């Protein structure tokens, strides 16, 4: 009963935001929801499998560019088709990248994912004819459930139908991840995080499970990446840059990787805090750097650890 209360209240709050909050604040909810999806996946890898990826912006980029390509180059405007294609491409790219990366652990895994992220970043930056280089490519307004909503003003579209579409995707992604971490598979991931040697002695194939977790997390990142496109209407290489991967890790630590909803909370606080700090001072990264240091030293389990200490 109590376990459901927090998430249920949060969902109700998310649902009524467009009705009560100013349009600008509502617009900020869109990247929050996209990042929440991305981080649910990232934390399957980090919090549950014990692998910290510093290159997940790669998959965010894959998802976002998939949407931009489909809407801008191929005239495919259905968001369902875009999300499906983003998920498939995310998995397709993650399969070989993951197969190489999961052979390594700790800093080596992190560095290898970072390296692949940089390769992808350079690719989208330099292949100007294909990707539009540093200017990126437009992400045309997608159809939602087959409905063409191009007639309504952009803010009304984003804060209305698109907003609730994102809520639906977030709820589905959360429910799906909730099941994954409570499945036999999720238990096996946690054994690998805690003690790979012992896991192998119990017949649990460490590389195979790590690879599965890697691919699932990439699919989540690609889905979230595709959702990031429509609000800005443009996709550019900064989405795939390594500092973006760093932000994802920051959000996860901020919210708390030991708790299922920690990364979701982290995404929320990050987006609004960043906006708030940027409105006050131009050097928001300085403030956030200090904040990160404080979290690591004083609250290693993040904000969620402060609110709801697990066990």
Partner 1 sequence: MTALLEAHGLTKFYGPFRALDGVSLSIGSGEFVSIIGPNGAGKSTLINLLTGVSAPTAGSVRFMGRDVTGVGSVALARLGMARSFQLVQIFPDLTVLETLQAAAVSRLGRGLKLLASLARDREVQEIALEVAELFGLADKRGALARHLPQGDKKLLDVASAFALRPKIILLDEPTSGVSTADKTAIMEILVAASRRVGIEAVIQVEHDMDIVFGYSDRIIALHQGRVLADASPREIEANAEVIDAVIGRRAAGR
Where does residue 275 rank: exposed (0-12), middle (13-18), buried (19+ CB within 10 A)?
A: middle
Where does residue 61 rank: exposed (0-12), middle (13-18), buried (19+ CB within 10 A)?
A: buried
Give yes or no for a contact between 166 and 34, defined as CB atoms under 8 angstroms apart.
yes
Residue 83's H or E segment, with its range, is helix 79-101
Query: Cβ of 53: how many Cβ atoms within 10 Å?
Result: 28
Q: Which stretch binds partner 1 (CB under 8 A): 2-10, 21-29, 189-197, 233-241?
A: 189-197
Smaller CB separation from partner 1, 45 or 206: 206
Phi, psi of 197 (to 5 degrees): -60, -45
Task: Tell the smallest beta-carbon distance from residue 191 to partner 1 (Å).
Answer: 5
Give yes or no for a contact between 122 and 241, defined as CB atoms under 8 angstroms apart.
no
Does residue 304 bind partner 1 (CB under 8 A)? no
Task: Tell the smallest beta-carbon distance from residue 192 to partner 1 (Å).
Answer: 9
Q: Which stretch binds partner 1 (CB under 8 A): 93-101, 180-188, 218-226, 285-293?
A: 180-188
Strand partners, 144: 147
Of the candidate residues 34, 68, 169, 180, the single one contacting partner 1 (CB under 8 A): 180
Alpha carbons 29 and 271: distance in angstroms, whole number: 8
Alpha carbons 170 and 172: distance in angstroms, whole number: 5
Does residue 184 bind partner 1 (CB under 8 A)? yes
Q: What is the DSSP letter of 144?
A: B
Q: Which stretch binds partner 1 (CB under 8 A): 3-11, 100-108, 191-199, 297-305?
A: 191-199
Strand partners, 78: 143
Q: Which stretch binds partner 1 (CB under 8 A): 56-64, 102-110, 197-205, 289-297?
A: 197-205
Alpha carbons 59 and 91: distance in angstroms, whole number: 9
Q: Which stretch binds partner 1 (CB under 8 A): 80-88, 130-138, 188-196, 291-299?
A: 188-196
> Count residues contacting partner 1 (CB under 8 A)?
29
Does residue 195 bind partner 1 (CB under 8 A)? yes
Smaller CB separation from partner 1, 90 or 237: 90
Does residue 300 bind partner 1 (CB under 8 A)? no
Does residue 126 bind partner 1 (CB under 8 A)? no
Alpha carbons 1 and 281: distance in angstroms, whole number: 43
Alpha carbons 93 and 49: distance in angstroms, whole number: 20
Of the candidate residues 202, 280, 281, 297, the single one contacting partner 1 (CB under 8 A): 202
Would you give the binding string for partner 1 spanning residues 159-178, x where CB under 8 A is met? -----------------x--
Does residue 183 bind partner 1 (CB under 8 A)? yes
- Catalog residues that contact partner 1 under the rule CB under 8 A: 176, 179-180, 182-188, 190-191, 193-195, 197-206, 209, 212, 216, 311
């Amino acid at each position: 009963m109590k376990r459901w209360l927090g998430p249920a209240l949060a969902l109700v709050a998310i649902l009524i935001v467009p009705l009560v909050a100013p349009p600008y604040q509502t617009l900020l909810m869109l990247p929050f929801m996209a990042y929440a999806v991305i981080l649910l996946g990232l934390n399957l890898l980090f919090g549950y499998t014990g692998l910290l990826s510093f290159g997940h912006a790669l998959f965010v980029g894959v998802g976002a560019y998939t949407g931009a390509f489909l809407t801008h180059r191929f005239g495919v405007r259905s968001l369902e088709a875009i999300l499906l294609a983003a998920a498939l491409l995310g998995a397709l790219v993650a399969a070989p990248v993951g197969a190489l990366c999961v052979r390594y652990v700790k800093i080596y895994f992190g560095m290898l994912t970072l390296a692949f992220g940089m390769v992808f970043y350079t690719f989208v930056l330099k292949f100007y004819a294909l990707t539009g280089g540093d200017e990126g490519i437009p992400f045309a307004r997608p159809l939602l459930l087959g409905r063409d909503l191009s007639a309504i003003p952009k803010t009304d579209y984003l804060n209305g139908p698109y907003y609730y579409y994102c809520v639906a995707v977030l709820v589905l992604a959360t429910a799906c991840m909730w099941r994954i971490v409570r499945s036999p598979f999720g238990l096996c991931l946690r054994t690998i995080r805690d003690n790979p040697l012992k896991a192998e002695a119990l017949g649990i194939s460490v590389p195979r499970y790590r690879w599965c977790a890697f691919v699932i997390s990439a699919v989540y990142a690609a889905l979230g990446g595709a959702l990031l496109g429509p609000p800005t209407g443009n996709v550019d290489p900064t989405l795939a840059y390594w500092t973006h991967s760093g932000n994802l890790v920051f959000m996860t630590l901020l919210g708390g990787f030991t708790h299922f909803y920690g990364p979701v909370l982290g995404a929320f606080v990050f987006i609004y805090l960043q906006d708030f700090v940027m409105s006050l001072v131009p050097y928001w990264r300085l403030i956030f750097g200090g904040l990160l240091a404080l979290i690591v030293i004083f609250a290693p389990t993040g904000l969620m650890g402060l609110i709801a200490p697990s066990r």
